[in-house]
């Protein structure tokens, strides 16, 4: 069982910024928090999710041994886009993993954390937009493969996923990771005002730079060269004919390095 006391202890003086609920099994922590969340910093952590949700309507494998956590945010910074919130969360989770076990996850635009091309963690930001177009509240969901075995990953996601335990060769503490992620969310300003160096911190881990990609669901199948990201975390790409476009949502598949 995930030990809530251990999470609070690892949070230290910052524990007061969060209200944490740990549950053994739910359909999705996103759904639970949407129904029960009241204030920024409300957190739901589940040991197992029976209907874990991924981006773009996909499911997210959520059996025992992972961190499945949703956090309620009320972004104060006006006009802060969903892309920027997911980017900030990507940096927070990547930095938390580096803090905890010294690994250096890379970010595949916009929010997949990978090591050696295999997925380690995913992030889902679901927002409620107010009448002036800003985010009123956002439920930020993070799923990290912590102690999943190679056998289980290969069985469910052959060749596509890895875990902290696989990468470090030893089990890792889910409680310590949960606390590190929450501390990094605070540090990056997701509960207050986003730090000015977020863009650099995101870009330095972005593996998608300088790769050739296709846009998922684009019937033309055009292969774009990735040029850079803009200050809103949009991905700037160029077609073989030299036409440039900037993507703010959706997903890209990497074709080659
Ligand atoms: C993705 O990679 O497509 C995003 C995955 C997000 C998974 C997390 S686990 C905690 C929260 N609850 C969910 O149902 N999904 C998110």
Instruction: Return the pLDDT at 144.
Output: 98
pLDDT of amino acid 197: 95
Q: 57 C-alpha vs ligand 1 centroid, how far in Å?
A: 10
Instruction: State the distance from the centre of ligand 1 to the C-alpha of 101, rounded, in angstroms.
Output: 22
The reported pLDDT for the residue numbered 77 is: 73
pLDDT score of 98: 98
What is the model's pLDDT at position 210? Answer: 82
* Residue 249 vs residue 257, higher pLDDT: 249
Specify the pLDDT at position 237.
Answer: 97
pLDDT at 76 over 80: no
Q: Is the dihedral of CA 168, 207, 114, 224 positive or negative?
A: negative
Distance 121 CA to ligand 1 centre (A): 9
Residues 123 and 93: their CA atoms lie apart, in Å, by 9
Mean pLDDT, rounded, for 183-206: 94
Provide the sign of the torsion angle of the four alpha carbons 171, 172, 173, 174, taken in this order: negative
Average pLDDT for 237-257:
90
Task: Determine if ligand 1 sits within 6 Å of the CB of residue 145.
Answer: no
Which residues are within 8 A (CB) of 245 and not within 5 positions of it... i.e. 6 or more apart?
Answer: 224, 236, 237, 239
DSSP class of 104? -
User: What DSSP string describes 7-56?
Assistant: HHHHHGGGGGG-EEEEEEEES-HHHHHHHH--STTEEEEEEEESS-B-GG
Question: Average per-residue pLDDT in the chain?
Answer: 94
CA atoms within 13 A on the CB side of 239: 10
CA 43 to CA 140: how far, in whole Å?
9
- For the chain, how long is the longest CA-to-CA vector? 57
Q: Which of 66, 119, 133 is nearest to 90 (CA)?
A: 119
Looking at the predicted structure, is the pLDDT value of residue 78 above 80?
no
- How do residues 140-181 score in pLDDT, each as one tens digit? 999 999 999 999 999 999 999 999 999 999 999 999 999 999
Does residue 29 line the site of ligand 1, with CB under 6 A? yes
Give pLDDT tens digits for 97-149.
999 999 999 999 998 999 999 999 999 999 877 777 777 889 999 999 999 99
User: Residues of the chain with pLDDT > 90: what percent?
Assistant: 84
The helix-helix angle for 82-101 and 174-188 (nearest 10°) equals 130
CA distance 191 to 114: 25
Closest C-alpha to ligand 1, atom 11: 141
User: What phi, psi does 137 have (nearest 5°)?
Assistant: -145, 150
> How sure is the predictor about 257, in pLDDT bands with cuts at 50, 70 and 90?
low
What confidence category does residue 83 fall into, taking pLDDT thresholds of 50, 70 and 90?
confident
């Amino acid at each position: 069982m995930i030990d809530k006391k251990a999470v609070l202890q690892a949070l230290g003086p910052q524990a007061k910024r969060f209200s944490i609920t740990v549950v053994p099994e739910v359909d999705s922590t996103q759904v639970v928090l949407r129904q029960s969340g009241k204030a920024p910093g409300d957190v739901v952590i589940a040991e197992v999710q029976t209907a874990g949700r991924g981006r773009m309507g996909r499911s997210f494998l959520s059996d025992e041994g992972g961190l499945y956590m949703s956090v309620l945010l009320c972004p104060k910074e006006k006009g802060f886009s969903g892309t920027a919130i997911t980017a900030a969360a990507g940096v927070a989770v990547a930095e938390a993993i580096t803090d905890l076990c010294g690994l250096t996850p890379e970010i595949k635009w916009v929010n997949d954390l990978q090591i050696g091309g295999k997925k380690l963690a995913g992030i889902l930001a679901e927002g409620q937009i107010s009448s002036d177009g800003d985010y009123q509240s956002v439920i930020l969901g993070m799923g990290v493969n912590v102690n999943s075995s190679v056998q289980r990953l290969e069985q469910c996601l052959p060749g596509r996923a890895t875990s902290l335990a696989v990468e470090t060769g030893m089990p890792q503490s889910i409680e310590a990771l949960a606390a590190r992620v929450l501390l990094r969310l605070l540090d990056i300003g997701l509960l207050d005002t986003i730090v000015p160096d977020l863009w650099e911190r995101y870009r330095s881990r972005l593996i998608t730079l300088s790769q050739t990609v296709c846009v998922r669901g684009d019937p033309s199948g055009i292969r774009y060269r990735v040029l850079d990201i803009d200050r809103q975390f949009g991905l700037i790409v160029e077609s073989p004919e030299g036409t440039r476009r900037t993507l703010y949502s959706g997903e890209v598949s990497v074709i080659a390095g």
